[in-house]
Structure 1
Amino acid sequence: MKMLVVCSDFPYPADHGGRVDTWGRIKVLAELGWKIHLLVCGKQMPSKEEMDTVYNYVEEITLCDRRSKLADLLHVIPMQVQSRSELSNVELAGDYDYVLLEGDYVYPVLQNPKIKHDTVILRVHNDEAVYFKALANSTKNVVHKMYYHMESRKFTILQKKMLEKVDKYLFISSKEFESFRKQHPAAKSLFLPPPVTKVNFEASDFRSKHVVFIGSLFMPNNREAIQWYLEHIHPLMLKEPDYKFIIAGNSRKQSLSWLDSYNLKNVIVHDTPKSLDEIYRSGYLFVNPMQNGAGVKLKTIEAIQNGLPVISTSIGYEGTGLVDNEHIMVADRPEQFYGKIKQLFDDPQRAKSLLESSQSFLRTHYNHKEVLKTYMQSLNVSYPVKQVL
C-alpha cells in the first residue's frame, strides 16, 4: 500500500501544533504498513539531520519551492495556497493508493496530472475561513488585519472548490466535523483526534506555583492570549507566594517587544527553547487564554499529556471533546479565570484529580491509530495480519 502525504511545512521537528499532528500521523501510517512518499512545499529547508529522522518512516521525500510574490494578493486563490502553485508541476511517481492532503494550503497538487481525485483524503486542521477571520480579530496591525480578512473570504470560495474534487475528510476538531457532516452528509467524513505523542503520560508533583503557557510566539492569536493574561490575570496572581508565569514558544526570530508594555515581574520567557520537557515539568498548571481561533488548540492536548491540568477559555478547548469541570476548567471572564487558578493552587488534590481524568479521556478517546485504521478499512483498504511496527 502506497500513500503520498502532501504538506505545506516540513513535519519535523514537531515544534508546533500542525507539525505535531502531521508527524504523529506519518509515524502511525508507517506502523500500519503504508509505504509513504512525502511531498513538502514550504518556506524553510530542513537540515540533513531532520531529513534523516523523517527517512526512518518514509521511503521518499520531495521538496518543492514555495514562491510568494506581491501579485498573489490579487489572485482569487488565497495567498497561502497560490504561493504553493508549484505543487501542480512537481514530478510524481503516481500509482498511489491514496493521497493525503495535510490541509487546504496544498490544494494546487490537485492540478497535478499524477493525482487521481478519487484517491484524495483531506486532513482538516482548521476551518481556514474561520481561522483567518479569527487572526484578523487578534491582530492590531491594520495591514495584517486587511490581509487576514481577504484570505478568509478567499478560503470560503476555495472550500467550495475543494468539495467538487474531494469527498473524503478527516477532521481534527469534533465541533467542525459535526458541522460539516450536517451540511455534507454524502461526504466520507470522520473526526480523527490528534495523535497522542507520549507512550507514558507525565504527572506533576504540584509543588511549584508556576503557571505555564506554550505556543508559537509569532502567531497573533497566541500573542493576544498572552497579552490578555498579562493584563487581566497576572496582576492578581502576583499576590500568590512563589508564583511565576512561564511563557515558551518559537518566535521565528521576530521581536518580542509586544511584551514590553506589561508588568513582567515574575514572568519568565523561553524564546525558541530546544526542549519543552523541563518547562512542563516545572509547572503546576497550564493556561490557554485564547480569545480567537479555530480547529483544535493542540497546546491543550500537549499540556495534558505532559502532566499539567488545564484552565482554558471556551475558544482554547473547543473541538477537543473535553468536558468542563470533569477534564478541564473553563472560564472566559477574567475574575472567573483567576478564581479557577486560585482554586487549583489551593487544592492540589483537585488539580491532580482533574489531570488524571483528562489523561484517562485521552487514552480512551484519542486512539489515532485505531480510528485511522478503521477509516481506511471503510475505504476498502485491507491490512496484513502482521503489522509493521
Structure 2
Amino acid sequence: MNLFIFPAIASFSGGYEIAVYHAYKKLKPKEEDVVIWYTNSTEIPFLREQDIVLPQASLKSIKNIKNILSGRFSKELSVNDLIFLKKYDFNNIHCDEVVFYRALRTLFPDKLINVRFHNCFSRILHRKELLNIKLDFRFWLKMKVLAMLERKIFRDKNIYKIFLSDEDRDYYKANIGNNYDSEVWSFKIDLEKMNANRKNYVLKNKIVWFGGIESHKKKSVEWFVTKVFPEIKNHYPKMEFHLYGRGTEDFNLPQKSIFGHGFYLKEDFPFSTEALYINPDLIGGGVKLKLSTYLEEGIPFISTPFGFEGYKKELRDDKYCFVEEDSNWVEKIISIFDVDLN
C-alpha cells in the first residue's frame, strides 16, 4: 500500500493543476493505495470513492493565521490534519508538494518519502538577492518561508527529491553536493502536435498576456505595461495590449490601448493567429506550463530566459518561440511585428 497526497486537482485548468495531472498519470495509484486531494474544488477528476478530500482553509482562518505567526506557509498541513494516516504501514509515500513534508515526517520519522518541488523558492530568493530584484512584501514573505522549508527538506537524507527542471535540480546539487537522491520530472512537448499546429500566422497590432496576476507575476506585468509597451506603442500607434485571467481587470486602461478582460471563458485562445503572446518573467522559478500549451498550439510568443527555464533550447526557433533578455524586449518585439506590419 502506498500513499499519494496531491496539492490540487489533476486537470488542465491551470499550470499547477497540469503539473499535478502529469504526476498522477506518472504515479498511477492502484486500487489499494491511499490518495489524498488537498483542494476546495467541487469537481475532482480521477476522484475514487475511497479517496480522501482535505479542504483548504480560507486565507483569514485561525489555522492559516496560526501558521503565519509560527513562521510557516499559510497552507501547510499540521500533524493533526493527517493523524488518521498513522494507522497505515505504507510501502511508499509520495508527497506532491513541500507543504505536506513536516507533518508526514513527524508521523513517519523513519520512512523514505518522495517530495516534489513545484518551485525552488530557495533559488528564486538567491536570484532576487543577487540581482537586487524588488518584490511586493507578501510574495517576498512567502518566498522566505518556503525557502526555509525547502532547505530543511534538502538536508533530510531520507527524502528523495523530485524537481520540475534541470535548473532547480542543479541548484540543489550545487548547494548540497548529492547526485544520487534526486531526479527531474520534465514535461515533454508533443512535437507531432506542435508541428501540425504551426501554420502561417500574420501578426496584427495585438499583444496578449494570458494568465492570472498573482503577486509575483504582477511585478513582471507592471514592468511590461510601464517600460516596454509604451515604447512599442510609440513605434506602432495602433498597438493594443490585451490581458486575460484573474486580476487582469486591474490593468484595464482603454485610453492607453490596454484592455484587462478578466477570466476568459472560451476554450480557444484569444487572437491566437494574429497576436504575440508574452511571458515577461523577471525572476523565474519552476516551469511555466502555459508555454507548453503555446508551443503545442502553434501560438507565437516571447519569453525572458528566466521564464523559459525547464524547456529545451532547441524549441527556440525565432518564429513561434522567441526568448530574449528583458533589456532587449522593446527592440525585439518591434522587429517581430516589423515582418507583418511594414
Give your verdict on TM over 0.5.
Answer: yes
User: Quick one: distance in 1 between partners of 2:207 and 2:322?
Assistant: 14
Which residue, 269, 290, 293 being the options, matches 1:299?
290
**Which residues in structure 2 correspond to 1:108-123 (within 5 Å)?**
108-111=102-105, 113=107, 117-118=111-112, 120-123=113-116
Alpha-carbon shift at residue 103 of structure 1 (Å) = 1.9
Alpha-carbon shift at residue 246 of structure 1 (Å) = 2.5
Counterpart amino acid of 2:332? K
SS in 1 for 2:52: strand
The reply to whether residue 25 of structure 1 matches residue 17 of structure 2 is no
Q: Identity rate of aligned residues, in percent?
A: 16
Alpha-carbon shift at residue 172 of structure 1 (Å) = 0.6
Counterpart amino acid of 1:24? H
Alpha-carbon shift at residue 286 of structure 1 (Å) = 2.0
User: Quick one: distance in 2 between partners of 1:206 and 1:126?
Assistant: 34
CA spacing shift, 1:113–1:284, aligned 2, 3 Å: same
Which residue, 221, 242, 246 being the options, matches 1:246?
242
Gaps of 5+ in 1: 349-389
Counterpart amino acid of 1:330? V
SS in 2 for 1:66: coil
TM-score normalised per structure 2 = 0.78
Alpha-carbon shift at residue 337 of structure 1 (Å) = 0.8
TM-score normalised per structure 1 = 0.70
Structure of greater relative contact order (alpha carbons < 8 Å, 6+ residues apart): 1
Alpha-carbon shift at residue 289 of structure 1 (Å) = 1.0
Tell me if structure 1 keeps the 8 A contact 2:169–2:182: yes
User: Quick one: distance in 2 between partners of 1:265 and 1:309?
Assistant: 24
User: Quick one: distance in 1 between partners of 2:46 and 2:11?
Assistant: 9
CA spacing shift, 1:323–1:107, aligned 2, 3 Å: same
Counterpart amino acid of 2:300? P
User: Quick one: distance in 2 between partners of 1:98 and 1:113?
Assistant: 14
Alpha-carbon shift at residue 271 of structure 1 (Å) = 1.4
User: What does residue 329 of structure 1 align with?
Assistant: 322
CA spacing shift, 1:156–1:237, aligned 2, 3 Å: closer
CA spacing shift, 1:234–1:156, aligned 2, 3 Å: closer
Which residue, 46, 54, 63 being the options, matches 1:54?
46
Counterpart amino acid of 2:15? G
User: Quick one: distance in 1 between partners of 2:325 and 2:80?
Assistant: 43
Counterpart amino acid of 1:7? F
**Which residues in structure 2 correspond to 1:93-104 (within 5 Å)?**
94-104=88-98
Gaps of 5+ in 2: 58-62
The reply to whether residue 167 of structure 1 matches residue 162 of structure 2 is no
User: Quick one: distance in 2 between partners of 1:154 and 1:233?
Assistant: 32
How many corresponding residue pairs?
Answer: 323
